[in-house]
Amino acid sequence: MKNIKLLVMLFCAGLLFTQHVLGQDNSGSEPSLALPFYAGVVDYVKPRNTGKGLRAEIYILDDNGNRIRFLIDYGANIIGKDNKQISIDEIKQNNKVKIYFITNSIGVRVAKLIVLVKDKDKTASPEQ
């Protein structure tokens, strides 16, 4: 009986600790993505080649004219200018985008979220 009470108490303590660590931010501000991003203009989109097992790729030009390459993750979300999900085929050259990414273990940037930026919005410089 003591063991059961001890287990219940440990479970409750662990639950409270997790809620404290992962606590909700009720400040009213929008949550920010914890991923780094690059903003720029689409230079080229290379479609996925399922026959060879190759992922899709996207190349963008940043504000300094640097060409930056990203693999597009299989589960990546692509958000259009109207804030609705779109397919990779709808990304065109010269679209302004923000690409949120991770860097894998061999140093390759893998896009997790691609957001097409409305023309009236300015693209930000790379944040890292």
From the list 53, 60, 43, the residue with the least C-alpha distance to 109 is 60
At residue 7 the predicted structure's pLDDT band, cuts being 50, 70 and 90, is low
**Count of domains forming the chain:** 1
Is residue 26, in this structure, part of any structural domain at all?
A: no
pLDDT digits (tens, 9 = 90+) for 17-70: 555 444 444 444 444 558 899 999 999 999 888 778 788 999 999 999 999 999
Is residue 91, in this structure, part of any structural domain at all?
A: yes
Is residue 7, in this structure, part of any structural domain at all?
A: no
Is residue 12, in this structure, part of any structural domain at all?
A: no
Is residue 32, in this structure, part of any structural domain at all?
A: no
More confidently predicted of 43 and 123: 43
3-class SS shares of the chain: helix, strand, coil, % to 5: 20, 40, 45
Is residue 5, in this structure, part of any structural domain at all?
A: no
Is residue 6, in this structure, part of any structural domain at all?
A: no
Q: What is the pLDDT of residue 22?
A: 45
CATH number of 98's domain: 2.40.50.140
Q: Is the pLDDT of residue 2 over 80?
A: no
- Domain extent for 96: 37-116
Q: What is the pLDDT of residue 10?
A: 65
Is residue 16, in this structure, part of any structural domain at all?
A: no
